[in-house]
Structure 1
Amino acid sequence: MAIWNLGGINADHVYAVPHIPAPGETLDGSDHSVYLGGKGANMSVAAARAGAHVRHIGAVGKDGKWTVNRLMEYGVDTRAITTVDTDTAHAIIFVANDGENAIMVYPGANRVIPADHLKQALTQAQTGDWFVCQNEVNLQEKAIKLARDMGLNVAYAAAPFDPVITKSLLPYLDFLILNEVEADQLKQATGEGPADLPVKDVVVTLGSKGATWFGPNGQIDIASHKVNAVDTTGAGDTFTGYTLAGLDRGQPMEQALKTAAKASALMVTRSGTADVIPDLAEVQAFS
């Protein structure tokens, strides 16, 4: 089987700072690195490193060839990534000494993926494959409806969060993943908590507190792993990618989530984004 990911591809500029800047505050950064990033790219790399066959659907500018090459190096099938006349998306990421982060994103090519390109890419998908997207890109609703009509399992990572878009997609989803703040915002928009949403499986990530799965058997808590966090960037994307890879291999949801919790715990001990996502051997060795 395969995972089809309509997802953002970013160049992540990461700056080490003593603390997250307050409004009007100017800080000296102690380090600067450039990584492959974007929630979509992170999820694709995580799923590929977890052993899945990942087909990434997206767009970059003429300046973004290196990002496509990097995805390919990490095991992602990049044949469905097109080049457009818009700059590649990029992010400015501040990482504080305590591991917390603040992010500004320029969406660029992520928001101008051609509809015809999406349709052409999905002609190669097969019934039973997984499809996932996020809010970094255009075409979410069109893509999710198309994937549903084709018999794919449909997953949605509701970030960057938009309650209107998320609410409109709920009827087409098999799997929804969002964090605790996003879950509260969605409840305000719909009047329904995670257990009441019309989605078979809903997962709410809780950061250092683990995650909660709301599924057919009710609420199940997934424990976190205590580690020394140095950078939380990409941890949620790693969790999502690993979860989908497990499901694509036929693992029960709880088993997939427990493996994903290990992967995200390892991820926060490293500085960077897609380039430092752990592979399955590292995750299996982690205890």
Structure 2
Amino acid sequence: MKVLNIGSCNIDYIYDVDHMVRPGETQTVHNLEIVSGGKGLNQSIALAKAGVEVYHAGLIGKDGMILRQALEIHGAKTDYLYEVEGPSGHAIIQIDAHGENCILVYPGANHQFNEARIDEILSHFESGDLLLLQNEVNEMPLIVKKAHERGLQIAINPAPFNEQIKDIPLHLVDYLILNEIEGQDLTKETNDFKVLEALKVNYPNTHILLTRGSKGVLYTYQEVMIEQPAYKVEAVDTTAAGDTFIGYFISGLVRGLDMEETLKLASRASSITVTRKGSSSSIPTIEEVAK
């Protein structure tokens, strides 16, 4: 099984603050760090650090060499990472004294996908391979339909959640991985278990994972329900926790682990991530998770 991630690449500007800035407020920050990021890039790096051969397909501007280098340094393949006109995507991230974050994302090059580019990328993959997606690139409905036609397994993290999610044929998705807020937005339910039930009704053939931060993760598929608690740690930065979980979850599927072991692996990895500052730099290696 080959793993393809068609995903975003962003240059992250990370600001340490006392609290999230409020309307009309000017706040002095304690520290600025400029690093590679983006949900797509972070998830590819998590996959690579988990020991998976992952191909990252994405679009960057002339300013994006830092992004290509970050992927390659950690072992992700960049055969389908293309340079286009205009700036790369970037994100402005506030991290408060409790390790919580608030993020603004500018899409930039990430929103320059077209049908010809998608066809070219997918032509290198076949039935049984796995495609990972987030919602930080354009043409998502087209990508899902074409990948399904080729027989690829599809895992999608519908983040950031927006109105465009409703245009994506989620019934074609094999693995739907979302957090509490995204689940509530998608179903209009407020209780986590009711969110799962609503998603099961709408997508009966999809494996559904609901990540809940310090409460752990819920998984359901048909008649199976698993509740995996979070590992207790002192969080300093939650920026890449979800991306780490997803990367390690996919790695468990690739390795053929059963679902309980896969969820434990992904939860251990994400618990390490939140104890470190940074985005892709905070993601642990498989050796660290094994310890």
The match for 2:217 among 194, 198, 211 is 211
Matched, 1:222 2:231: no
Letter of the structure 2 residue corresponding to residue 193 of structure 1: A
Please identify, of 66-75 and 181-190, the stretch whose mean Cα deviation from structure 2 is larger.
Answer: 181-190
Distance in 2 (alpha carbons) for counterparts of 1:125 and 1:251: 23
Give the structure 1 partner of residue 192 of structure 2: none
Matched, 1:177 2:183: no
What aligned pairs does 1:17-96 form with structure 2 within 5 A after superposition? 17-96=17-96
The match for 1:244 among 247, 250, 275 is 250
Distance in 2 (alpha carbons) for counterparts of 1:197 and 1:150: 23
Q: How many residues align?
A: 285
- Please say if residues 194 and 214 of structure 1, whose CA atoms lie closer than 8 Å, have aligned partners that are also in contact: no
Which structure 1 residue ranges, 5 or more long, are not aligned?
none
Letter of the structure 1 residue corresponding to residue 261 of structure 2: Q
TM-score of the superposed pair, with normalisation by structure 2: 0.94
| Cα 1:166–1:244 shift into 2, 3 Å | farther
| Cα 1:202–1:43 shift into 2, 3 Å | same
For residue 21 of structure 2, give the secondary structure of its aligned residue in structure 1: coil
For residue 165 of structure 1, give the secondary structure of its aligned residue in structure 2: helix
Letter of the structure 2 residue corresponding to residue 215 of structure 1: Y
For residue 80 of structure 1, give the secondary structure of its aligned residue in structure 2: strand
Distance in 1 (alpha carbons) for counterparts of 2:164 and 2:10: 24
TM-score of the superposed pair, with normalisation by structure 1: 0.95
Give the structure 2 partner of residue 265 of structure 1: 271
Give the structure 2 partner of residue 117 of structure 1: 117
| Cα 1:96–1:248 shift into 2, 3 Å | same
| Cα 1:167–1:193 shift into 2, 3 Å | farther
Over residues 205-226 of structure 1, what are the superposed CA-to-partner deviations in whole Å (9 max), with x where a residue is unaligned? 0001100001133321011001
Matched, 1:196 2:201: yes
Displacement of 1:192 in angstroms is 6.4
Displacement of 1:185 in angstroms is 1.1
CA RMSD, Structure 1 to Structure 2 (Å):
1.7
Give the structure 1 partner of residue 260 of structure 2: 254
| Cα 1:42–1:269 shift into 2, 3 Å | same
Matched, 1:127 2:159: no
| Cα 1:153–1:263 shift into 2, 3 Å | same
Over residues 24-82 of structure 1, what are the superposed CA-to-partner deviations in whole Å (9 max), with x where a residue is unaligned? 11111111111110000010000111111111111000110121111111110001011
Distance in 2 (alpha carbons) for counterparts of 1:173 and 1:5: 14
Q: Percent identity?
A: 40
Which structure 2 residue ranges, 5 or more long, are not aligned?
190-194
Matched, 1:234 2:240: yes
Over residues 154-213 of structure 1, what are the superposed CA-to-partner deviations in whole Å (9 max), with x where a residue is unaligned? 111010012552464222111101111111111129996233231420000000110000
Distance in 2 (alpha carbons) for counterparts of 1:138 and 1:280: 31
Distance in 2 (alpha carbons) for counterparts of 1:212 and 1:151: 27
- Please say if residues 167 and 186 of structure 1, whose CA atoms lie closer than 8 Å, have aligned partners that are also in contact: no
For residue 102 of structure 1, give the secondary structure of its aligned residue in structure 2: strand
Distance in 2 (alpha carbons) for counterparts of 1:5 and 1:137: 11
